[in-house]
Structure 1
């Protein structure tokens, strides 16, 4: 069983007024086969956690640890983290004009696996992944995220998840900007990933609507850079009914 373990994580970013601490001691453990949902108001540190795990240079870790099966993740470069089995679906995927989806996916797969996929089986795998996300085969010839709709960008992220098949996936507000049909398609793709039984998922979201399609084992409430509460799926329903007010008030006391 693989384990992603986050202990007493402190992270800061540089601002015009100097360094600002965003994460203030986060503890979280995700094991293979588990789906964890992170919920919380804007500015609570959810995306900061995602990008810190992935190794974004904007976020400076000032304390704590992140380990994957006991190995120090924070000491790895971004590409080493990907090869170790970590994946981040970004909230705002980057446009790469001039680079086709097909070339991007094959380059990513080669970089993660350390060898190029066999062309004949790879084409079939790509087409199957696109079909599963209700994307036309011609989608592979378009430039990465260039002119994509919000739904296309998010579905492309899940195509990557399918083909790269990491140990642990961190999905940063993958549901934002999706209509109900696109949400179901994306959720089906995520459920295909977790159905393998030995993959871990950290799902960051503001809303419970995606949790109607992707059932979490654990729910964590983020407020002011800390985990303010934890529980099972019933906690998400409580948040839907009551909101985050009581946690925000407690954090400001």
Structure 2
């Protein structure tokens, strides 16, 4: 079993007025085989957590630790974190004009595994994966995310998840901009990933609708850069009924 552990994490970003603290002491432990959902209002620091763990240079860790099976993730470069077993599904995937999906996927797989996959088996794996996320074979020849619809971008993220098969997936607003069909397809991909039994997921979302498709083991309420409440799947049901108001009031008190 693997463990991704975040301990007393403080993170700031640079602003015109100087450094601004976004994360104010986050503690979170995810074991393989678990799905953790982080929910909270806009501006609460959910995406900052995701990008800080992944290694985005915009975010400065001022104190605290992030470890994967005891190894210091924060000391690693972004590519080293990926090889260690981390995957980030972005809320707004970036366009990479001139780089085909096919080349991108194979280059990423080669970098993570340390050797190129056998071409014949790899092409079949890519085609099978694209088919599972309802993308046709011609999709592999398109430039990464260039001209993609919102649903295509997120389904492409799920294809990456399945093909790269990390130990831990951090999925930032997977449901953002998806219609019900695309949401179901993306959720099915996450469920296939977790069905392996030894993979962990950190799912960041505003809304409970995606949790109708992906059942969390743990739910955390994120407010003002901290975890304000945590519980099981029943906490998401409570948030659906009551919203975040009581947590926001407590944070302002």
Q: CA deviation at 1:134?
A: 0.3
- Does residue 12 (structure 1) correspond to residue 25 (structure 2)? The answer is no
Separation of aligned partners in 1, 2:172 and 2:14: 21
Give the C-alpha shift of residue 73 in structure 1: 0.2
Instruction: Write the deviation string for residues 39-76 of structure 1: whole angstroms up to 9, x where unpaired.
Output: 00000000000000000000000000000000000000
Map of 1:35-184 to 2, 5 A cutoff? 35-184=35-184
Question: How far did residue 9 of structure 1 move?
Answer: 0.1
Where does residue 208 of structure 1 map in the other structure?
208
- Give the unaligned 5+ runs of structure 1: none
Q: What are the Cα deviations for residues 3-44 of structure 1, in whole angstroms up to 9, with x where unaligned?
A: 000000000000111100000000000000000000000000
The CA RMSD measured in Å over matched residues stands at: 0.3
Matches of 1:11 and 1:244 in 2, distance apart? 23
Cα distance in 2, alignment partners of residues 132 and 198 from structure 1 = 21
Distance in 2, Cα, partners of 1:91 & 1:17: 27
Distance across 1 between alignment mates of 2:174 and 2:34: 18
| Distance in 2 (alpha carbons) for counterparts of 1:83 and 1:185 | 27
User: What's the secondary structure of 1:21's corresponding residue?
Assistant: strand
1:167-191 alpha-carbon deviations (Å, 9 max, x no partner): 0000000100000000000000010
Q: Deviations over 1:71-121 (max 9, x none)?
A: 000000000000000000000000001000000000000001010000010
Whole-angstrom distance in 2 between the partners of 1:26 and 1:237: 23
Tell me how far 1:226 sits from its aligned partner.
0.1
Q: Distance in 2 between matches of 1:59 and 1:30?
A: 21
Aligned residues: 253
Unaligned runs of 5+ residues in structure 2 are none
Cα distance in 1 for residues equivalent to 2:39 and 2:21: 19
Q: Which residue of 1 aligns with 2:251?
A: 251
Using structure 1 for the length normalisation, give the TM-score.
Answer: 1.00
- Structure 2: how far apart are the matches of 1:72 and 1:196? 25
Residue 188 (str. 1) matches residue 204 (str. 2):
no
Q: TM-score, normalised by structure 2?
A: 1.00
Structure 1 runs of 4+ aligned residues shifted over 4 Å read: none
Q: Distance in 1 between matches of 2:246 and 2:174?
A: 26
CA–CA distance in structure 2, aligned partners of residues 7 and 98 of structure 1: 40
